[in-house]
Each structure stands twice: as C-alpha cells, then as structure tokens.
Structure 1
Amino acid sequence: MSIAVTGATGHLGRLVIAGLKAKAPAAKIVALARSPEKAGDLGVEARAFDYAGADLAPALAGVETLLLISSSEIGQRVAQHKNVIAAAGAAGVRRLVYTSLLHADTSPISLAQEHRATEADIAASGLPFVILRNGWYTENYTAAVPAALANGALVGSAGEGRLSLATRADYAEAAAVVSLGAGQPGQIYELAGDKAVTLADLAAEIGRQSGRDIPYKNLPQEAYAALLKQAGLPPVIADLLAAWDIDASHGALFDDGRQLSALIGRPTISLAVAVRAALP
C-alpha cells in the first residue's frame, strides 16, 4: 500500500509523515509538496505537487491512498481541492482521506463553506473516501501564551464558549491511522479534544504554570480585531480571527463525541501539557 500526503512540509503534514513512518515502511510513503526540496529531512520519497498545478496525476502514480490535507489558501481551496480530486481519479487512487472542519455541514464558521463544497466534490467523484472533520488546534490559542505573559492578560472574543481543542499531534495521529486503513468508505469523523475548555481556563493554566496572575479579558469583536491589527496581523486575518472567536462563543468549536481519542486509542493531549510546550 502506497500512501501520499499533500502539504507534507507543513506543520500537520510533517507530523503525519512521522506518524506513518512509525507504523509503515518509509518506502511506502510519498511526501507531496510544492517545494519538494524542503522535504529532504522527512526520510521518504518527495514529489513536486502544487494544489493548483496543471497536471497533477503523474505525481500520484502508484498511490493507493491519498491524504488530502486542506490547502492553507483561504478563498482558493475549493478550486485547488477539486483539482487534486480530479487528479486522484485520473491516477487511479483507490482511497481519498480529507481533512475538513468540525461539523462542517452545520458550522457557522466561515471556513466551513469551502470544506462543505470540497466534501460534496469528493462525494461526487466516486472515489472511496473518509472525511476527518478536525476541530481547532490547541496551538491556535497557545500561540498567544508569550503575548499573554508580556501583557499580563490573555485577550479574545470567545467569551465563555467551550472549546474542544486538540493538538496538531492528536489530529496528525488520527490522519495516519485512517490513512493506514481505519474507517469505512464514506465515514465521517468529528474530531475534537476530550475535554472542552474556555479561554478563561487557558488563562488560568498559563498563570498556574508561570506563577503569575494572568486573567482572561473578553473584548468585543471589533476591539479584538483592532488589537490583532496593532500586533501586526494582516487586516483580513485579524478580522477573521475575531469573527471565529465570536462563533466559538456560541459553541461552534464544541464537541463531546470523543471520536478523536477513540480513533487514536489514547486520551487527547491535555491543556496543561500544551501550555507547558508553549511557555517561552
């Protein structure tokens, strides 16, 4: 069985490759990357693969299972993913695994629109598939740990929303397990952390581990977006992050099904461990 992973040099892709190598011969794994020279340290075959490439089928020669890690180019994902799906069909790929978004079919988060469209394209392709609907990465929020320590507070707009966060390592392990054969054709997994937390919980954990008082300060959407822009984020990204926090405040990132821990055969990584890794 040959398994190919798109976006193999990204944060998630690298972890998936490592997970696959722990369970399967490296000779059976293919890293697909826009710049394959950046994949030299992965220890597997690397092939050039651009989601928007004109002819991607040759790069998928001999691939039986393709893990399509969703593109990072918001606004272009639907066309790029459709291109990859078509190439997979032309190359004779027997199984497609796709990283989608938690509750993509009903989520109010703006990102869900592109994932819904891609899920529909995959279903229409006729390829056997498994969908991994990943929740939010814990790292999306623990990235703010240094700023929280510098400013004496954690800020956001998620209110008391319960966030079922899981680390990239958790999601990567699930992707490796499914790429190696777990899951029935057409199965959709809703993947999220075992224990939901709030941003106040995160602030308290940062404070506990740093030995300081780090409160959580909830801001209106516009004020949070403005603060992110002042910190140097592009305006479009700042506005999106603030809007997603508002969605989270209404429960968009909550799930208590524990399908992720069941799939990987262990509890998901705790908030305490994730914060410890993020401390400067």
Structure 2
Amino acid sequence: MIVVTGASGQLGRLVIEALLNKVPAGEIVAAVRNPGKVADLAARGVQVRQADYDQPASLAAAFKGADKLLLISASEVGRRVPQHRAAIDAAKAAGVGLLAYTSLLHADTSPLPLAAEHKETESLIRASGLPAVILRNGWYTENYTAGVPTALQYGVVLGSAGQGRIASAARADYAAAAAAVLTQENQAGRIYELAGDDSYTLTELAAEIAHQSGKAVAYQNLPESEFKAALLGAGLPDFLATLLAESDVGASKGGLFDDSRQLSALIRRPTTPLAESVKLALG
C-alpha cells in the first residue's frame, strides 16, 4: 500500500494520477487534511484518510499498514520542520517500509533560504533510521508561467534572477518521478537531484512569451526588495512574496540549475519543454 500525503494539493493530485496508471486504486491512500476535497478520488477507488500534520494521532491512523509513504513537503513555510517531524515519527511507528520525501534541488548546498527546512528535514529522516529516498525537486515551471497573463498585460516579466539559468520542469514531471520511485524496488538510500533537461534565463522566458503571443514582452531585473514590493502590490501574501523574491536571488547564484538529467532518466522521457509550458499558459 502506498500512502501519499498532501494528496489534495497540486503535486499530490498529479502523483495520485500517475500512480493510478501503475497500481490498482485500492492500493493507494490519499492522506489529506480535508477528505471532502478528494471525494472524486474516493469515487475512483482510492482510499482516503484524514491526516493533519498538526494532529499526530491522525497521522498514525493514516499511515497504518503503509508499505511506502510519500511525504510531500508541507505548504506552511516556517512551520515545516515540526510538521515533518510529526510525520516522520508516525511513519516510523507505523513501520513504513520506505519513506520518500520531496526536498529541494541541492538542498545541502543551495543558496535559497527555502532550503533550510528541507535540509533539516533530511537530517530528521536520516536520524530516524527509516529506509528513505530523497527527491530533491527543482523549480516548477508553473511558478513562472503562472505570471504569463500579467506579463502580457504589462509587457514585462519582473524578477531578481539576473542571468541565472533555471532548469525547471513541469509539476507533472516531478509527479511522474515520485510515482516511478514509489513503484520501483531498491530505492532506499538514494538521493535524486531532479531538474529539467534544459535551462533558461528569465530574459529567455520573456522572449518565449513574446514569440508565442506576438506581443512585446521583456525581462526587467529588480533588486530583491523592489521585486518583493511588486509581488505584494500584485496581491500576493507576504510569505509568498518573500519566498519568490528570495528564490529568484538564489537562482541568480545558480541555485535552480542542474544538468544531470536525473529527472528524465527516472521518468524515461524528456522533461516538458519551456515552450510547451508557455503554450499551455497562453491557453
């Protein structure tokens, strides 16, 4: 039995879909805070269990009988470590045979402040003694293509990444990798650095948007504080604006680049090209 935490989220749902192509629905457990959000999965035969990182008793019940567990990193930046610790403790108590964790690309050396909680979680996993595999996910291309409508409206892509190269991949690519690991043997002890086959700068992203839309779009590099202010002005909450601005600066230092192509090797196909993701965003 394979348990997936955060199964109602954007990545979690895609992992469930990928698993449904590999194993019977009854062997998959969607562990979610609000079971009502995955009623559609239950209707397809997926087991649904309530699981809240802040309620350890719920985790123990959700993980019961799990052969493998995918711990998708919690969404509450700043609170992840205690939440992940609770999940790791529950996994150990449940006797989970393999714990897979979605970490961050090069978490041990990354210049992104976001890496700190992932690095600490990886340490907790090692200390637990659980058989584990670490999926160090790079950036989701959707993190940038979500801003395509705004870029078209104002003719500009804003950021603080300079000319740092970004080897992102589509969220579905990372989901496929998680499903592959969860359905293969001999994964314990492995660390995967997962990123897109190709990389781009935000200048190149702006050029791709312009090329496909036929409208003038350019990249404007801003100091971190100004980029954060622009994100706040666009209505983003403070924690997200801070995260994106800090991550862009990290990208300028090479924090979102990797050319090992471990992701495409794992999913046995090329990762989704930037042009395809931009096309999808343009609708």
Shared fold, TM over 0.5:
yes
d(CA) in 2 for partners of 1:263, 1:230: 40
Say if 2:205 is the partner of 1:202.
yes
Calculate the aligned-residue CA RMSD, in Å.
1.0
164-173 vs 229-238, which deviates more? 229-238
State the match for 1:48 in structure 2.
Answer: 50
1:5 counterpart SS class: strand
Q: TM-score, normalised by structure 2?
A: 0.96
Say if 2:89 is the partner of 1:86.
yes
1:217-275 CA-to-partner distances (Å, cap 9, x unmatched) read 11111211111111111233223321211110111100000000000000000001000
d(CA) in 2 for partners of 1:75, 1:46: 27
Q: TM-score, normalised by structure 1?
A: 0.97
| AA at the equivalent of 2:89 | A
Percentage identity across aligned positions?
59
d(CA) in 1 for partners of 2:250, 2:56: 36
| AA at the equivalent of 1:204 | A
Say if 2:175 is the partner of 1:176.
no
d(CA) in 2 for partners of 1:59, 1:104: 28
1:216 counterpart SS class: strand
Does structure 1 retain, via aligned residues, the 8 Å contact 2:56–2:90? no
d(CA) in 2 for partners of 1:183, 1:166: 25
Change (3 A) 1:245 1:183: farther
1:153-184 CA-to-partner distances (Å, cap 9, x unmatched) read 11111110000000100000000000112553
State the match for 1:157 in structure 2.
Answer: 160
Does structure 2 retain, via aligned residues, the 8 Å contact 1:130–1:183? no
Report matched runs for 1:70-149 at 5 Å: 70-149=73-152
State the match for 2:4 in structure 1.
Answer: 5
| AA at the equivalent of 1:36 | P
1:32 counterpart SS class: strand
d(CA) in 2 for partners of 1:54, 1:172: 26
Change (3 A) 1:236 1:27: closer
Does structure 1 retain, via aligned residues, the 8 Å contact 2:100–2:132? yes
Say if 2:217 is the partner of 1:211.
no
Does structure 1 retain, via aligned residues, the 8 Å contact 2:164–2:201? yes
| AA at the equivalent of 2:234 | A
1:233 counterpart SS class: coil
Say if 2:37 is the partner of 1:38.
yes
Does structure 1 retain, via aligned residues, the 8 Å contact 2:15–2:179? yes
Report matched runs for 1:233-244 at 5 Å: 233-244=236-247
| AA at the equivalent of 2:115 | A
2:56 counterpart SS class: coil
State the match for 1:16 in structure 2.
Answer: 15
1:176 counterpart SS class: helix
| AA at the equivalent of 1:20 | L
d(CA) in 2 for partners of 1:109, 1:157: 13
1:81-105 CA-to-partner distances (Å, cap 9, x unmatched) read 1101111111111110000000000
Gaps (5+ residues) in structure 1? none
d(CA) in 1 for partners of 2:61, 2:231: 42
Structure 2 residue aligned with 1:230, among 233, 249, 252?
233
State the match for 2:282 in structure 1.
Answer: 279
State the match for 2:169 in structure 1.
Answer: 166
Does structure 2 retain, via aligned residues, the 8 Å contact 1:71–1:77? yes
1:24-70 CA-to-partner distances (Å, cap 9, x unmatched) read 11110000000011111122110000011131212212110000000
Does structure 2 retain, via aligned residues, the 8 Å contact 1:66–1:97? yes
d(CA) in 2 for partners of 1:118, 1:234: 25
Does structure 1 retain, via aligned residues, the 8 Å contact 2:114–2:247? no
Change (3 A) 1:205 1:182: farther
